[in-house]
Amino acid sequence: MSKLTHIDAEGRARMVDVTGKADTVREAVATGLVRMDAATRALALSGDAKKGDVRAVSEIAGVMAAKKTSDLIPLCHPLALSKVEVSVTPHDEGLAVTARVKTTGPTGVEMEALTAVSVACLTIYDMLKAADKGMVIEAVRLEHKTGGKSGEWKRLHTL
């Protein structure tokens, strides 16, 4: 089993010291799905939901969440993000969310991409729950990352 980087020699949680790590361009892409019935998806795509434009509000919520990741996840480093792009698109079974996050620095942006997707999905749920309480948020996952010592990683099967 590999050593966990957020645990010190005494088994206590710690923020990883990235002082000596080189700044590299780092990018992460995460995805998620909000499964819903066809009528709810049509409502979301119409832009006529009672709370407003579901796609636009969810995309903005995802961008805002990426910027707040270190406030939400205790051991994440605060990062200067150079790009956050969140898109909500139609999917056969609901709405798919994709987040692409980029920075130049000593640590990666996987958590920021995953946080962006998670909050965008939660926003979709919040905006549409009056129409469909049976929606399911699922498959939130890292799809691709580049940069740093570990280099490139890519999921073999995507949504």
CA distances from 118 to 18, 60, 151 (A): 26, 13, 25
Strand pairing partners for 99?
30, 86
Number of independent structural domains in the chain: 1
> pLDDT: is 75 or 97 the higher one?
97
Indicate which CATH number applies to the domain containing 110.
3.30.70.640
Residue 126 designated active-site: yes
The whole-number pLDDT of residue 158 equals 64
Residue 126, in any domain of the structure: yes
- How high does pLDDT run on average in the chain? 92
Per-residue model confidence as pLDDT tens digits over 123-159: 999 999 999 999 999 999 999 999 988 889 999 876 6
pLDDT at 18 over 90: no
Residue 13, in any domain of the structure: no
Distance between CA 31 and CA 144 in Å, rounded? 10
Residue 17, in any domain of the structure: no
Residue 155, in any domain of the structure: no
Residue 86, in any domain of the structure: yes
Catalytic residue among 8, 71, 126, 132: 126
With a threshold of 0.75, does the pTM exceed it?
Answer: yes
Residue 159, in any domain of the structure: no
Residues 6+ apart with CB under 8 A from 9: none
What domain range includes position 134? 24-146
